[in-house]
Amino acid sequence: MRVLVVGGGGREHALVRALARSPQRPEVLCAPGNAGIAADARLLDVGAGDVDALVAAARDEAVDLVVVGPEVPLVAGLADALGEAGVRTFGPNAAAARLEGSKAFAKEIMAAAGVPTAAARQVETVDDGLAAVTGYPTVLKADGLAAGKGVVIAEDEEAARGALEDMLVARRFGETSVLVEEFLEGEELSVLALCDGERAVPMAPAQDYKRIFDGDAGPNTGGMGSYSPVPAVDDDRAREICRTVHQPVLDELARRGTPFHGVLYAGLMMTADGPKVLEFNVRFGDPETQAILPRLEVDLLPLLEAAGVPGGLALGRFHRRVLSSRTVRRWSW
């Protein structure tokens, strides 16, 4: 069995290591990987964003399963292209990956699926944006992919105007619309669920360190470190979140003819009114994956394979142990 992991960061290293310890003893390749990953996988000199070259490499190397780390190639249609070439892939097609690629689309799906989230309005001008603010602080989100940096929490009108001009006039993120969103308060955490198009199976929750400075201050980063387990969410709570957040989204996407296969990452705020979704990602979190996968008690490889088959995760009983993971006190694989 030959598995190709696409990407070159800490998340992909965690995936490579989790796959390498499978009892199935797969040969693990990584494109492009990095100097650390080279110790655990054979590297291919192909960029993670080069869809055509990745398809060619997967064919040339007779890869049995491609596991896609980052969002950019998924939104660009890597899973579709690999599927057309007859290569099995872990990760959603471009239509389902819009959940991360467009925050406005994610809001539309959540509204249709009845999933709790912050109230939001989509605007295209600075004046409309300011008019849509219902109170400060307010949250401004550029619509497209921005590597976790396209979100500004504005404390007053001056800050909101500056951020809206940056996004809509200077087009800092290349987008033409912004979501003006209600500010939510509470503890923030992530619940990732493996999805086979029909069924969502939760993994152990994780939290990451978002703000750039000590004391949770300063602008958001994409996450600079993470931990799991999360004391605030036990297994029952995580199952409940999966039932009320991931599963309805999966059902709605299936109903629209674009079933979601892969891992659906829900970024959540635990508000006084219950968990509300901040964002969806259509891939493993970075750095959450580095905290979650070492805790997994079951073999990751058959789980990733099962996610490609409608109903695949319902087969067997192994999925029951995906959530109840061991506590790893030291990094000692």
Count CB atoms within 10 A of the CB of residue 110.
22
- Nearest-10 crossing angle of helices 247-255, 103-113: 100
Q: What span, in angstroms and rounded, lies between the C-alpha atoms of 311 and 202?
A: 15
Q: For residue 218, what are its two tokens?
A: 């300063």
* Contact status: 187 vs ligand AMP (CB under 6 A): no
Name the residue whose CB lies closest to ligand GLY: 223
Query: Distance of alpha carbon 260 from its chain centroid, rounded?
Result: 12
- Nearest-10 crossing angle of helices 94-101, 247-255: 130
Considering CB distances under 5 to 8 angstroms, the limit depending on partner class, which of ligand AMP, ligand GLY, none binds residue 223? ligand GLY
Whether the CB-CB separation of 166 and 154 falls below 8 Å is answered with: no
Considering CB distances under 5 to 8 angstroms, the limit depending on partner class, which of ligand GLY, ligand AMP, none binds residue 208? ligand GLY
In this structure, the chain runs to a length of 333
Tokens 């079951």 belong to residue = 298
139 or 293: CB nearest ligand AMP: 139
**Least distance (Å) between residue 281 CB and ligand GLY:** 5
* Contact status: 100 vs ligand GLY (CB under 6 A): no
4 or 206: CB nearest ligand AMP: 206
Name the residue whose CB lies closest to ligand AMP: 279
* Contact status: 252 vs ligand GLY (CB under 6 A): no
* Contact status: 83 vs ligand GLY (CB under 6 A): no
Contact mark string toward ligand GLY, 164..193, x via CB under 6 A: ------------------------------
Position among 26, 148, 248, 310 found at the interface with ligand AMP (CB under 6 A): 148
Position among 71, 100, 181, 305 found at the interface with ligand AMP (CB under 6 A): 181
Position among 105, 183, 209, 318 found at the interface with ligand AMP (CB under 6 A): 183
* Contact status: 208 vs ligand GLY (CB under 6 A): yes
Q: Which range touches ligand AMP (CB under 6 A), out of 3-11, 179-187, 239-247, 307-315?
A: 179-187
177 or 281: CB nearest ligand GLY: 281
Q: Pairing between strand 200-202 and 187-196? A: antiparallel
Count CB atoms within 10 A of the CB of residue 333.
12
* Contact status: 285 vs ligand GLY (CB under 6 A): yes
* Contact status: 141 vs ligand AMP (CB under 6 A): yes
Map the footprint of ligand GLY across residues 109-148, applying CB under 6 A: 148
Position among 89, 122, 207, 281 found at the interface with ligand GLY (CB under 6 A): 281
* Contact status: 202 vs ligand GLY (CB under 6 A): no
Per rule CB under 6 A, count of chain residues that contact ligand AMP: 16
* Contact status: 97 vs ligand AMP (CB under 6 A): no
* Contact status: 267 vs ligand AMP (CB under 6 A): yes
Residues that bind ligand GLY (CB under 6 A): 148, 208, 222-223, 281, 285-286, 288
For ligand AMP, the binding residues (CB under 6 A) are 118, 139, 141, 148, 151, 153, 181-184, 188, 210, 220, 267, 278-279
